[in-house]
Amino acid sequence: MTSIRLNNVSKSWGSVEALKGISFEVAPGNFTVLLGPSGCGKSTLIRIVAGLETVSGGEIFIGDRNVTACAPAERNISMVFQSYALFPHLNVAENILFGLKVRKATPAKQKEGLDRVATMLGLTPYLARKPSKLSGGQQQRVAMARAIISEAPICLMDEPMSNLDAQLRNEMRMEIQGLQKELGITMLYVTHDQIEAMTMADQIVLLNGGRTEQIGHPTELYGAPCSQFAARFIGTPPMNVFPAGDLTRGALSRSFRPDLVARPDLLMGVRPEDIYLGEDGVEAKLVNVEYLGADKILHCELDGSRILVRTSRETSPSIGSTLRLVWKNEDVHLFSKETQQKIN
């Protein structure tokens, strides 16, 4: 097992600054997810770690080795990309073995490796098929098998599941995570999907506009988001964020946090799952109900702000009625209106 460390990595193309001083470490055997909206620099960063892109500044270490100037082949990593890039004219076995053949592994080593990864990924029945005769999920497994058979201590994946349907993605999440732990691979995995990040990561690196917004375990990003961006990017539906204490909201603020009255500089955040319907809460009008099967999302209007409340499927207030919303002080997150950062 080995680590990856990025030290102040930046990347520009002319005037486009894609990465602005990124630093973090992936511990040996850790599953780190690079998460962020489209265009925030995730692919650029993972391609830099792979050696497919040069840096404009900063350094990359794999273990104790500074690999910033090393070619991809010298970095001892395997990769799985969004387009599986399987060779269409080669069958599954040949696709999986391609890298081992290039490296002139012995036939015995090739056979042993192929048997092992094909069994692991349920590909044994398909070894003679061409990729065009496989489903998206099977093609994805072939791409993973090709990465795993290399036995590289580090694996990089860039949105490997974006071509799969939702149900398959759910299954593959657990499969990828299980394999990573079983093989003790150090993983850097890119996604824009916060559910993938939350379910698989030991560590999330949340990127926003080429900078790191927050780094931590999923429970830290969910429970203690450092900014309004982090608060709203993680969690579905996103955290409610509304002006905390401007005077028109006196009633709201007084009910819960007297210290927030007349604080127009603050934004208050409460997750939909932390709001309850009570006898004596803040009055809000129910304007819509989203039925999700296991639960319901109530869309409420409160002093001009839209507040979402996650509630049990048994609750059935009628649209247009007045509800009373309650939440606990410890579930309130405060952000500066000016900087959007968390206030302690």
Tokens of 326: 């309650």
Cβ-based neighbour number of residue 77 at 10 Å:
24
Tell me: does residue 13 bind ligand ADP (CB under 6 A).
yes
Find the binding residues for ligand ADP in span 29-68 (CB under 6 A): 36, 38-44
Distance (Å, whole) CA 125 – CA 172: 19
Instruction: In angstroms, give the least distance from the CB of 41 to Mg ion.
Output: 9
Please choose which of Mg ion, ligand ADP, none residue 16 contacts, taking the beta carbon within 5 to 8 angstroms, the exact cut-off set by kind. Answer: ligand ADP
Please choose which of ligand ADP, Mg ion, none residue 131 contacts, taking the beta carbon within 5 to 8 angstroms, the exact cut-off set by kind. Answer: none
Instruction: In angstroms, give the least distance from the CB of 201 to Mg ion.
Output: 17
Please choose which of Mg ion, ligand ADP, none residue 108 contacts, taking the beta carbon within 5 to 8 angstroms, the exact cut-off set by kind. Answer: none
Q: Which is nearer to ligand ADP, 100 or 206 (CB)?
A: 206
Selected binder of Mg ion within 2, 30, 32, 43 (CB under 5 A): 43
Chain centroid to Cα 36, Å, comes to 7
Non-local (6+) Cβ contacts of 22 within 8 A are 6, 8, 9, 10, 41, 45, 58, 207, 210, 211, 212
Selected binder of ligand ADP within 6, 18, 86, 230 (CB under 6 A): 18
Tell me: does residue 302 bind ligand ADP (CB under 6 A).
no
Tell me: does residue 9 bind ligand ADP (CB under 6 A).
no
Instruction: In angstroms, give the least distance from the CB of 19 to ligand ADP.
Output: 8
Q: Which residue is nearest to Mg ion (CB)?
A: 43
Please choose which of ligand ADP, Mg ion, none residue 160 contacts, taking the beta carbon within 5 to 8 angstroms, the exact cut-off set by kind. Answer: none
Amino acid type, 256: F
Question: What residues make contact with Mg ion under the rule CB under 5 A?
Answer: 43
